[in-house]
Chain A
Amino acid sequence: MTDATANTAPAGAGQGSLLIKDSRTAKRNGAEGRFKMYGLIAVCIGIAMLILLLTSILTSGLSAFWQTTIQIEVTLPEEKLDKSGVRDPEVMAKVTTFGYAPLLRDGLEATIAANGIETELSAKDAAELISDESVAQLRNRVLRNPDLIGQTVSVEVMASGRIDGFYKGRVTYASAERDTNISPAQLQLAEALEDKGLLNTSFNWLFLTAPDASDTRPEAAGLGVAILGSLYMMLIVLVLALPIGVAASVYLEEFAPQNRWTDLVEVNISNLAAVPSIVFGILGLAIFINFAGLPQSAPIVGGLVLTLMTLPTIIIATRAALKSVPPSIRDAALGLGASRMQSVFHHVLPLAMPGILTGTILGLAQALGETAPLLLIGMVAFVREYPEAPWEGGLFDPATALPVQVFNWTQRSDPAFVERASGAIIVLLVFLLLMNLTAIFLRRRFERRW
């Protein structure tokens, strides 16, 4: 290559034997080699950082998907849970979790005794092994299935956050000495239960389905509401941003006259893409909540704000996709007597589809990971209630979002929430990965040659 170009250089440059590299060639080759090396180093640094990030998140977050549980036998006496004996769930609901808590405590005590485990702990201290959330879970189970009353059932209850942490390496005997929430004796009891096969670790579905929990119950905190909230917002963004974005791009690219107004609109769209996302949050707060009176913390407001934020991305991607369709296709359609609109909708748009879909999905992925604007519209709230289905007005119910949940959990004091936050990041990354895979799949599927 270099030798060939050297030969065409002006007289003097190509003189001499081709077998000996002249100094210019050596210099050029050297520069090229160095450039390749810089590039390689840059790529390696990038990959190393990515690996570092993923390992750190995975090591601290993967354990969130596992939960330590304790198998205990619980007796459900009728006189305590349903004095009336009619098994009417409304009547039974009058017995609160305070009525159920002693049952679990007694159950654990009985289980310990039945398995011949010796412990100096009182029944109350031993019960601290069990998560407070388990009481509510037991109550819900009984309310759903009143026939259980009067029986002795085997239930799998969540271990408390400290015990869970003990099996995940977060809590040790040494740390338990200094911890008011757990004592070494309790850890010994946990180990004894494990020896008898009563304490197990299983996949933590509740992490994906349960709502958030309070500071004292990290083991019960789940992503259910956050995932639903994010899903609702993505739905709103897709339904609003895709048609508006595509319509705007098609108009600008195919129909708009080339004048100063169009230029102005174009420049402003590009600028909007560069506006910091928190500005969109302030806009959402001022317009959608304060002016339009939409509820705070609602997916509808989050979705609208994210739509505004995603629109420029979609418009820019769509216009690039439309531009990449060869003009000869438009000429061909127009030459056959197709109208502008027919040429766009029959030919140009289908050909631009892979690019449009890729841009849209990347825009959605960006919106999915966006936190700042959601903080301003109140989506950082502590939400225990699942929003209703979208057709039942769920878009107006309070909800939170995945990245906001991460932000929320990182602010809590219990170290168990670090694990939860990292686990939430893994869920978020999996969603982003899935979206990008969809983008790649769609591009492959619709890609056509011309």
Chain B
Amino acid sequence: MYDMRLTERVLDTETDKPKITAKGVQVYYGDTHAIKDVNVDIADKTVTAFIGPSGCGKSTFLRCLNRMNDTISIARVEGDIRIDGEDIYDKRVDPVQLRAKVGMVFQKPNPFPKSIYDNVAYGPRIHGLSRNKSDLDEIVENALRRAALWDEAKDRLSQPGTGLSGGQQQRLCIARAVATAPEILLMDEPCSALDPIATAQVEELIDELRQSYSVVIVTHSMQQAARVSQKTAFFHLGHLVEYGETGKIFTSPEDPRTESYISGRIG
């Protein structure tokens, strides 16, 4: 089902300036220390996968990158996270503006109970990305095409997004995120609610999105991480245990914990 194209990667990201840099990130939920001193550089136009057992903090860390943790009142984030060199936790940064730049796709497909068109058009509308109706039509069409949903959805744009199948809904959510023209796309286990065929479609899509965005994906499936990502970070109990080229992590991990996880002994 997966052609070899996905495994023949061009890995020349080391020389580029990183898109996101995180230094000494700590996250607390009340008294729980969820993320312990994470340092990571995420490159532009790359797919970076966060893997690790349940509760290891990979989703929590992902949500730090667009300050979604702000919506949880007991969460506290410390450390330094920069996008293009700008501290996103700076007092002057408005999280709303940040989230327009850093799009997010959630674990469970969560389309708005509105039409397919309105779902995709919502972001551009609130950010004023279109001057007129035909502009907006174009943005919606492009976003749906990028999410490989155009052919299935073009005749039913006015129908509710919640009427689509699970896989289509998730692609709709991706289209919705893409329509806002973000620079970074965060995906929190985007395929966990999908069947294998829908998963394959979304994975293909992720590989294409890499052309334009820096994609960070949290996944439970090591196979998925191996298939779609160029860089992989392994989280365990709130620590970033190992971070490097996906090929290297899966073939010759340095840390014994990574090796145990990958070979299925922990997790």
Q: A93–B248 Cα gap in the complex (Å)?
A: 107
B interface majority secondary structure? helix
* Set of chain A residues within 8 Å of B66, measured between Cβ atoms: 335
Interface residue B28 (Cβ < 8 Å from any Cβ of A): no
Contact A332 B112 (CB under 8 A): yes
CB distance from A448 to the nearest CB of B (A): 5
Q: Which of A326, A334, A335, A346 counts the most B-chain CB atoms under 10 A from its CB?
A: A335
The contact size tier of chain B is: 20 to 34
Q: Which B-chain residue is minimally distant from A259 (CB atoms)?
A: B73
Q: A329–B119 Cα gap in the complex (Å)?
A: 12
Q: Which B-chain residue is minimally distant from A342 (CB atoms)?
A: B126
Interface residue A351 (Cβ < 8 Å from any Cβ of B): yes
* Set of chain B residues within 8 Å of A351, measured between Cβ atoms: 113
Using A257-B73, A337-B180 as known contacts, say yes or no to A332 and B110 having CB atoms under 8 A apart.
yes
* Set of chain B residues within 8 Å of A449, measured between Cβ atoms: 113, 162
Using A328-B106, A331-B106 as known contacts, say yes or no to A339 and B96 having CB atoms under 8 A apart.
yes
From B71, B96, B99, contact of A330 by CB (8 A): B71
Interface residue A180 (Cβ < 8 Å from any Cβ of B): no
Q: A339–B97 Cα gap in the complex (Å)?
A: 9
* Set of chain A residues within 8 Å of B100, measured between Cβ atoms: 336-337
Contact B113 A336 (CB under 8 A): no
Contact A335 B177 (CB under 8 A): yes
Interface residue A23 (Cβ < 8 Å from any Cβ of B): no
Q: Which of A326, A334, A339, A449 counts the most B-chain CB atoms under 10 A from its CB?
A: A334
Q: Which B-chain residue is minimally distant from A338 (CB atoms)?
A: B126
Contact B113 A448 (CB under 8 A): yes
Contact B113 A335 (CB under 8 A): no
Using A258-B73, A329-B110, A329-B112 as known contacts, say yes or no to A334 and B126 having CB atoms under 8 A apart.
no
Using A258-B73, A328-B108, A339-B96 as known contacts, say yes or no to A334 and B68 having CB atoms under 8 A apart.
yes
Contact A335 B106 (CB under 8 A): yes
From A258, A339, A347, contact of B112 by CB (8 A): A347
7 tightest A-B contacts by CB? A337-B100, A335-B104, A328-B110, A337-B99, A336-B123, A332-B110, A448-B113
Pick 16 A–B contacts, CB within 8 A, sort by A: A328-B106, A328-B110, A329-B112, A330-B71, A331-B110, A333-B122, A335-B105, A335-B106, A336-B103, A336-B122, A336-B180, A337-B96, A337-B98, A337-B100, A337-B127, A450-B113
